[in-house]
Amino acid sequence: MNLKNAIALVTGGSNGIGKQTAKQLIEEGATVYITGRNEQRLKAAAEEIGAIGIVADASSQEDVDRTFEQIIQENKKLDILINNAGFGAGWAEVGELNMDDMLQVYQTNVFGAAMMGQAAANIFKSQKSGNIINIGSTASLKGYAKGSIYASSKFALRGLSQCWQADLRPYNVRVMHVNPSEVTTAFGKTDGVSREEVSNKLRSQEIADVIVSQLKMDNRGFVPEVTVWATNPW
């Protein structure tokens, strides 16, 4: 697709992969809305990259509805949803799992992503065009010790991606799933401060490069799923 004049929504756009993806989409000529829960951090990110910030929690149905209402009211269309908002907590072995941790992670990683995807899908079906990119993880491909909560949430998101592909292809809507391996972002940090960049680990830029290249493919084709590894992280 041609990204010039496209309208995009990137959830979790205040930092990390979301912010970098929004930045690169704007550089391609798109108008980009970013969401985040921290108003101060969201405002700073939006001003820095030239995005439009909407203070919203992806796990809140009210916030999801309000976000899409604003975008459609201001643009009459939407072309791209990047379901990037994600949360990790409750690292524990089976036998030590906590229901509150599970609900907190699933509320954003699965339920919130599903409601964002549903709102976008209804717009895209009426337009007979659109793009959804769900940001998964290599944890959605293989479980690991103490990863029951987070990995299972990403397995669920991967399942949603596959179901939506089947649902939406007849409407010319492309649904893509991206699995980053370890990226030096602020994921999992309560202070929202990015981790120190490591020379042999992935940056947000590598993931954003993949997302943008997928979107720029001609609309007649799409890559259903892609995994991004660091070349030599050891």
Which pTM was predicted? 0.94
Q: Are 218 and 2 in contact (CB under 8 A)?
A: no
- What number of residues does the chain have? 234
pLDDT value of residue 193: 52
Selecting among 106, 144, 150, 171, the annotated active-site residue is 150
Q: Is 33 a catalytic residue?
A: no
Helix (H, G, I), strand (E, B) or coil at 175: strand
CA distances in angstroms from 196 to 38, 140, 184, 199, 201, listed in the order given: 21, 25, 7, 10, 11
Phi-psi region of 118 (alpha: psi -120 to 50; beta: other; left: phi over 0): alpha
Structure-block tokens of residue 82 = 């990047």
CA quadruple 75, 77, 79, 84: dihedral sign: positive
Helix or strand holding residue 27 (H, E): helix 16-27
Per-residue pLDDT of the chain (234 residues; tens, 9 = 90+): 999 999 999 999 999 999 999 999 999 999 999 999 999 999 999 999 999 999 999 999 999 999 999 999 999 999 999 999 998 888 999 999 999 999 999 999 999 999 999 999 999 999 999 999 999 999 999 999 999 999 999 999 999 999 999 999 999 999 999 999 988 755 555 555 555 678 889 999 999 999 999 999 999 999 999 999 999 988
SS3 content of the chain, % helix, strand, coil (to 5): 45, 15, 35
Distance, CA of 178 to CA of 81 (rounded, Å): 13
Rounded (10°) angle between helices 148-168 and 99-106: 30
